[in-house]
A = this chain, B = another copy of it.
């Protein structure tokens, strides 16, 4: 049951926040280790990791979900709610989440800081400029672009083929007019004309690099390895060859520090990094998760999209790269979304439809099997909506019981941590009583083709991958360049287990077409692109920004 009275921003603005120094003190963070950004946000010094080098790591709990639908699944809300519930149970819990991107906030989506009584705050700051991390990434990305064009303009010593520059510019906005552009017009003094394009900042490899780095020096090395173009001999050209890895690291020296905030119930939350969940790995930074694991006993973290994309990348890319051993997984589902997976139209979702639910639960089933194949304890969390009928709820609960699957109703939107107590206890019980046999589904030293096939078969349930002629050529080229032992980052539609967004539920008897590969050598993975992936969203006819405003005393309205 959800209160319809207050909007998220109204709830957030009514919260009683503790000064950030109190939150950090409770975590044993010294005054020198916290750089305040206003009264309720702070950056955490990387020195904390040195100080706590020998401290035991916390349990890391990953929150993932079924394939998202327009009906919404509330993964962030459950993440915050579970963190609050563990806190209520007396556990030292810390939430680790991604930073929201401004573009979608101004466009259509609203904020990404949870909802109802399970939000991280100050939500306006987090949803807008926050502590400037994404702006620093935009700046580093675009400085590099300027250095590349300047290198060509000034004689092109590295013989960069201007038709084969793979580094794009970025803005943290939804701006379709920048998807395809021509730059360098106006004659010999204004640069060399060439085709170019802008991505949204969260799609920048700089973001992926920042989120996988474990230290300033690791960041610098990764930035240096980024491939920005191919030269006239088709050999890759790196940032290090250009000589700007130091300057880019300098621009990111503060952005690499995790940000501490709190939830509506004063549970500590570290919000840091927000890579695209498609052409990048879609989880908050490694440094944030590892620091949270040193500071608390339970870390609740999430990954983008459904378990087929987010959890797979969290487990294969982030955990492997950083040596993180997760303790449990929460799979979030809503009855509304499962009914859509079962064939009910969006406009009909408020009406009971047990048959559609029965049909759509197969989507959840596949994600359960995937998490089981990783050898991890898990709990299904049903994020309850007011329109869910008792029969629907009971059907889903019984389905889980029959499968011998742990399940909890989560009412964290309405009740905050209180509404997640059952889920929290279920998770704690899973961690303490179940066997954790965490394992990757592929060995990173297999060929790129083999790793891709493993993902599409074991995680998506496909018969196998098909490769376009381009992708085939790239497989060979990338193996020759010594990139064959990198993990795979799949870029696939989030709406379906397959590569066809219209195939909801649990599609069978399909193959996944790999159209093209992309080398993210700084981040340390090879992106496999299935369909066309949108890396620069557009704005709708009536952007959300039309309703946004500020009162005379600086209070924000219309941000939701």
Query: Smallest Cβ distance from A287 to chain B, in angstroms?
Result: 13
Q: Does A38 contact B (CB under 8 A)?
A: yes
Q: Once the chains bind, are A173 and B142 in contact (CB under 8 Å)?
A: yes
Q: Once the chains bind, are A173 and B143 in contact (CB under 8 Å)?
A: yes
A residues 176-198 near B (Cβ < 8 Å) are 176-186, 189-192
Residues of B close to A154: CB separation below 8 A: 541
Q: Once the chains bind, are A173 and B247 in contact (CB under 8 Å)?
A: no
Q: Does A150 contact B (CB under 8 A)?
A: yes
Q: Once the chains bind, are A253 and B550 in contact (CB under 8 Å)?
A: yes
A residues 520-560 near B (Cβ < 8 Å) are 538-539, 541, 543, 545-554, 556, 558-559
The chain A residues found within 8 Å of chain B, CB to CB, are: 35-39, 43, 46, 102, 106, 128-129, 132, 135-136, 138-139, 142-143, 145-147, 149-150, 153-155, 171-186, 189-192, 215-217, 220, 243-244, 246-247, 249-251, 253-254, 538-539, 541, 543, 545-554, 556, 558-559
Q: Once the chains bind, are A216 and B183 in contact (CB under 8 Å)?
A: no
| Contact A139 B244, CB 8 Å, known A186-B179, A190-B177, A550-B216 | no
Nearest B residue to A243 via CB reads B546
A255 to B143, CA, bound (A): 22
Query: Smallest Cβ distance from A550 to chain B, in angstroms?
Result: 5
| Contact A190 B172, CB 8 Å, known A128-B251, A143-B106, A548-B247 | no
A352 to B435, CA, bound (A): 85
A38 to B139, CA, bound (A): 20
Residues of B close to A173: CB separation below 8 A: 139, 142-143, 146
Query: Smallest Cβ distance from A88 to chain B, in angstroms?
Result: 30
Sample of 9 more A-B contacts, CB < 8 Å, known A35-B37, A143-B545, A176-B184: A46-B554, A142-B171, A143-B173, A150-B539, A176-B191, A177-B190, A180-B184, A216-B553, A246-B558
The complex is assembled from copies of this chain, and their number is 2
Q: Once the chains bind, are B250 and A559 in contact (CB under 8 Å)?
A: yes
A549 to B252, CA, bound (A): 11
Q: Once the chains bind, are B149 and A175 in contact (CB under 8 Å)?
A: yes
Nearest B residue to A106 via CB reads B143
Question: Which of B186, B216, B250 lies in contact with A552, CB distance below 8 A?
Answer: B216
- What would be 5 A-B contacts, judged by CB atoms less than 8 Å apart? A37-B37, A149-B175, A150-B539, A176-B189, A181-B181
Q: Once the chains bind, are B128 and A129 in contact (CB under 8 Å)?
A: no
Query: Smallest Cβ distance from A495 to chain B, in angstroms?
Result: 19
Q: Once the chains bind, are A545 and B247 in contact (CB under 8 Å)?
A: yes
Question: Which of B177, B249, B254, B547 lies in contact with A146, CB distance below 8 A?
Answer: B177
| Contact A246 B177, CB 8 Å, known A171-B142, A251-B128, A554-B216 | no
Query: Smallest Cβ distance from A226 to chain B, in angstroms?
Result: 15
